[in-house]
Amino acid sequence: MPKDSPDASLPFWRQNGARYYTLSSCYKREFGGIVRKISVDAHFSCPNIDGTVGRGGCVFCDAVSFSPSRRFGLDDIDAQIDDGIKQLRRRFDATKFIAYFQPSTNTHAPVETLEKAYRIALRRPEIVGLAIGTRPDALGDDVLDLLAEIAKEKRLSLEIGLQSSHDRTLKFLNRGHDYACFVDAVTRAKSRGLRLGTHLILGLPGETRDDMTLTGRRIAALGIDSVKLHHLYVVRNTALAKMWAQGLVPLPSLEEYAEEVVDVLETLSPETVVERVAGETSAEYLLAPDWTAIKHAGRNAVDVALRRRNSWQGKRFDPDFQDQP
């Protein structure tokens, strides 16, 4: 075999020199070209805000700062998708798009209302699939049955927010659910063959690198298909902002965060798509850390740490990992 030939025993993305499995690589393999997500706001509520589960929401959450679509005020789903297609075609020369129901809890409504919103998004031929962001406590069996039916027709990814697998941290975050609730939702969703993603926040107060690594191992053991890694950052008008102003919330440096990401990447299956390795928000909402506002700062720091440690996604993946209760 020629010296520079790729090693066929490696995952395809590593044969191309990458150190983790990116969403763009996944889309290119699946659709043969560029696919971009369009953020869609269907104006659903959140059970952790409207009293179904709790009030006040998660300590870090301000819906406007976390979702571009909430900043534009386009109530009509068709209009949001039309605007998104125009912008993303111009910026990325994309021709295929995923409608991403992003802000709030996009399974927190009657099934008839949910289906109407999803079907509106799927009417456009350019929309090749859906991504639906939600919480584990808003996934009744009737909702999962609906999603499973749609998934037979179009690509569908169900993103279940978690942030941490440690109950003490979930309580601090005021998530309104525990880790067992997440495991139950994942188990019921996987029994229907749904493609699952989750969100994790690294650098949460009180969590060690071992704690974060354990969360990674648990996610891998559950067979999650994709993951978004975020750093803890503080935006205005949140409970976290008040804690931070009082000096109660330490934040990792860029270099510390990059090391935490590499720790977690090493535990994941090579088949898990890593949709992002750092969070981002607009500078007008951001309080800290400052590097959040620097485009690609987190991703570039993770790339540096991966090279320095000669590491890659799956390096310490354990397919036989057994979680301890």
pLDDT tens figures, 190-199: 999 999 999 9
Q: What pLDDT is attached to residue 74?
A: 38
Q: Are 15 and 8 in contact (CB under 8 A)?
A: yes
- Name the phi and psi angles at 290, rounded to 5: -60, -35
How many C-beta atoms surround the C-beta of residue 91 within 10 A? Answer: 9
DSSP annotation string for 35-59: EEEEEE------TTTSSSS-SS--T
Q: Are 317 and 263 in contact (CB under 8 A)?
A: no
* pTM (two decimals): 0.93
The C-alpha atoms of residue 8 and residue 11 are separated, in whole angstroms, by 8
The C-alpha atoms of residue 80 and residue 68 are separated, in whole angstroms, by 11
252: helix, strand or coil: coil
pLDDT in tens, 129-176: 999 999 999 999 999 999 999 999 999 999 999 999 999 999 999 999
Q: What pLDDT is attached to residue 75?
A: 62
Q: What pLDDT is attached to residue 4?
A: 58
The C-alpha atoms of residue 230 and residue 100 are separated, in whole angstroms, by 18
Q: What pLDDT is attached to residue 226?
A: 98
Q: Is 183 exposed, middle or buried (0-12, 13-18, 19+ CB in 10 A)?
A: middle
Q: Where are the domains of the chain?
A: 19-308
Which residues in the chain come in under a pLDDT of 70? 1-6, 63-75, 325
- CATH no., domain 19-308: 3.20.20.70
